[in-house]
Structure 1
Amino acid sequence: MFKIEVAKMSILFSPITIGGVSLKNRIVMSPMGMNACKAEDGKVTNWHKIHYPSRAVGQVGLIMVEATAVSLDGRTDPDDLGIWEDGQISGLKELVDMVHEQGAKIGIQLCHGGRKSKIPGKIMAPSAIPYDENSIVPEAMTEEEMYEVIAAFKESARRAKQAGFDVLELHAAHGYLINQFLSPLSNKRGDKYGGNLENRYQFLKEVIHEIHKVWDGALFVRISATDYHPEGCSIDDYIVYGSMMKEQGVHFIDCSSGWIVPPNFSERPGPGYQVPFASQMKKEVQIPTGAVGLITSGLQAEKILVEGHADLIFIGQELLRDPYWPKRAAKELNVSIDAPPSYEYIWNK
């Protein structure tokens, strides 16, 4: 399906520096929820210590840790990983050190679930609009509550720095709280945080502003580049948002899509269906981007990079199926990559 001229050294396996962080290749483990913590604990478990470092052993360049809750009431699920208190730092630091030992860089994605939080107690959102007919109607946030959540993002960024993460990513996609502020489908506020596009950006603007006070490393943002709804945001809206992010010092935009409302695809998405969003964002905003979604082969990933559509390739489900996906991709591209020292005798046969 994907036919390209493969050089002796592919772009997929070439180094790149983004936001001052140098990666050995362009392969990123996409953040995916593991739901592996004890309820209301949020601490790193043995599962995380096996799951993430094994992909580093598999030669992924950047490991992105799953959506991690910035507050107890911001969890999307009761067993979410957390970064809402200092007691969680030591486990995160151990995880960071384990990934670094295997030659990869590591990032963490900060998240607040907003109206998509599935926890007991108060559910907050920009407006009192439920996600779907089966969801709890959230309470519209007061400005004081917004300031508290913004402060929670800032403190979580401080903890991420203490733990030694290389990259910080804000989860502004998939219908979670920041995404809820950005979309007119979920934000009907009449104050400075709602209404026109610039006002809907205000919440994220303040989150980024506060994070810069404690975090000086690489800053990524994951977006849903379209709401797949005629009254929602389109990629053209996100081009404007992307320009604002770049002006604020965001280094990279990770382009996903959808889930602010339940999806209603007329047909099943095909391979690389979100790549055009990354491509348009990269070209029009002049910012590095990541392509994600149904990217399964090395040839496909290389083609995306060769054609200039993105700078990094985010691999999700394929890395759950195969922790050594980079080795498979390298074989497809007919290039040699370093093997973990203990595996050299078999990888190079």
Structure 2
Amino acid sequence: MTANLATPFEIDGFSLKNRIVMPPMCQYSVTAQDGKPNDWHYIHYVSRAIGGAGLINIEMTNVEPDGRITNQCLGLWSDDQIPGFARIIDAVHQYDTKIGIQIAHAGRKSNDAPQPVSSTNVAFSSQYKQPRALTTDETKRMVELFRDAIVRAVKAGFDTVQLHGAHGYLIHQFHSPGTNDRTDVYGDDPARFGIEIIQAAKSVLPSHVKLQMRVSAADYGEGGYDLNYGVELCRKYKDAGVDIFDISSGGGTSTNPQNLGGGIYPGYQLHMARAVKEATGLPVIAVGLLDEPKLAQSAVASGDCDLVAIGRAMLRDPYWALHAQQATGAQVSPPKAYERGY
């Protein structure tokens, strides 16, 4: 049977009520203190559960204070941060929505670290601070920080965990040839850092908590990589233990517009999602200007992807998931208090 936006999704005991995902989107909440989610985050995420999303992935959440993009970003480097996330999870679950969290480190794209760390000592651009390349031992310790944050995510009660290997953040900085100029074991195999984090994650995740990974399938940057490289990277990450891929692109180095090929347009990353899906056999989330409901439905129905992530449109409309299903002919089930509106 051909899937549509309203079709339930299941993989190995992990099930979603529909194919609509809210992707991680940094909130830079000025009231966030010490990486802890607050009332803004609670309202922001719970409203999208009320609005019908099948899966919500909480924004980039960092493994150490200096791993944040800004000091207003979230973290899971301390047990003190767990209760704020657990409160959100409990509320989201009341609406039959699953919830995950994106675990990350900004690396050289950290704006507020006194000196950012990276795979390299080369800055992202002249607008960013010059980073310090991690030593081999520090890199191994960084893997442990990812593992420890994921242990806390499990304690909080998340249904799934996503690793951020896209958009020029630390894992991406290691696996891109444009930013990995190392001479140690992490230079010999640029995928090694990501593989070790995946393996560490799987060592502490219960079988019912699925591991997602967001990957830039091509990064467009000078000295970066193309789709063929990205597909091979995903094959390695699949073998290491990834369950679901979230396929995006870009962010490796300062973008050369000529490298964008056909440019940015609705659905411009769908061919990348399909390529990764066909190469790995794993479920894939597609993202990238899929705001129009019929386009999102087509992406699922055509087999380009299994799930669609809707970012900007869901910022504008917390109820996009309900509205999109209704617009594409599905019966919707809003909360009882809102039934008269449908």
- Shorter-chain TM range is over 0.9
* Deviation by residue 1:86-123 (Cα, 9 ceiling, x = unmatched): 00001110111011012100000001000000114221
Give the distance between the partners of 1:164 and 1:44, measured in 2 at CA: 15
The answer for unaligned runs of 5 or more in structure 2 is none
Equivalences, count: 337
CA distance in 1, matches of 2:14, 2:304: 21
- Does residue 45 (structure 1) correspond to residue 45 (structure 2)? The answer is no
1:320 maps to what in 2?
A: 315
CA contact (8 A) 2:285 2:307 kept: yes
Matched, 1:301 2:283: no
Q: Distance in 2 between matches of 1:323 and 1:23?
A: 18
Q: CA RMSD in A?
A: 1.6
Give the C-alpha shift of residue 19 in structure 1. Answer: 5.0
Inter-partner Cα distance in structure 2 for 1:219 and 1:111? 13
The equivalent residue for 2:219 is 227
Partner of 1:3: none
Map of 2:243 onto structure 1: 251
Task: Please list the CA deviations of residues 18-54 of structure 1 after superposition, one character each: whole Å capped at 9, or x if unmatched.
Answer: 3531000000001100011546611011001100000
Match of 1:210 among 171, 193, 200: 200
Q: Which residue of the partner structure matches residue 191 of structure 2?
A: 201
Does residue 151 (structure 1) correspond to residue 144 (structure 2)? The answer is: yes
How far residue 137 of structure 1 moved from its aligned partner, in angstroms, is: 1.2
What CA deviation, in whole Å up to 9, does each residue of 1:104-160 have, x standing for no partner? 000000010000001142210111111012221111111121122111100000000
Structure 2: distance between partners of 1:257 and 1:269: 11
Give yes or no for contact 2:217–2:230 (8 Å, CA) kept in 1.
yes
Q: Structure 1: which 4+ aligned runs deviate by more than 3 Å?
A: 37-40
Q: Deviations over 1:275-328 (max 9, x none)?
A: 110011111221111110100122101111111100000000000011111222
Q: Which deviates further from its counterpart, 52-61 or 226-235?
A: 226-235
The answer to whether the aligner puts 1:17 opposite 2:17 as a matched pair is no
Query: Which aligned pairs between 1:265-280 and structure 2 lie closer than 5 A?
Result: 265-266=257-258, 268-280=263-275
Distance 1:123 1:94 in 2: 31
Q: Kindly indicate whether the alpha-carbon contact (under 8 Å) linking 1:169 and 1:219 is maintained by their aligned counterparts in 2.
A: yes
Partner of 1:287: 282
Aligned position for 2:129: 136
TM-score in terms of structure 2 length: 0.95
Q: Give 1:242's aligned residue.
A: 234
Of 96-105 and 267-276, deviating more is 267-276
The separation in 1 between residues aligned to 2:244 and 2:73, in whole angstroms, is 25
Q: What is the aligned partner in structure 2 of residue 191 from structure 1?
A: 184
Q: What amino acid does structure 2 have at the position aligned with 1:232?
A: G
- Superposition pairs for residues 157-196 of structure 1, below 5 Å? 157-195=150-188
**Residues 44-85 of structure 1: per-residue CA shift (max 9 Å, x gap):** 110011000000000000011000011111111111011110
Task: State the alpha-carbon separation in 2 of the partners of residues 169 and 328 from structure 1.
Answer: 26
Range with bigger deviation, 293-302 or 53-62: 293-302
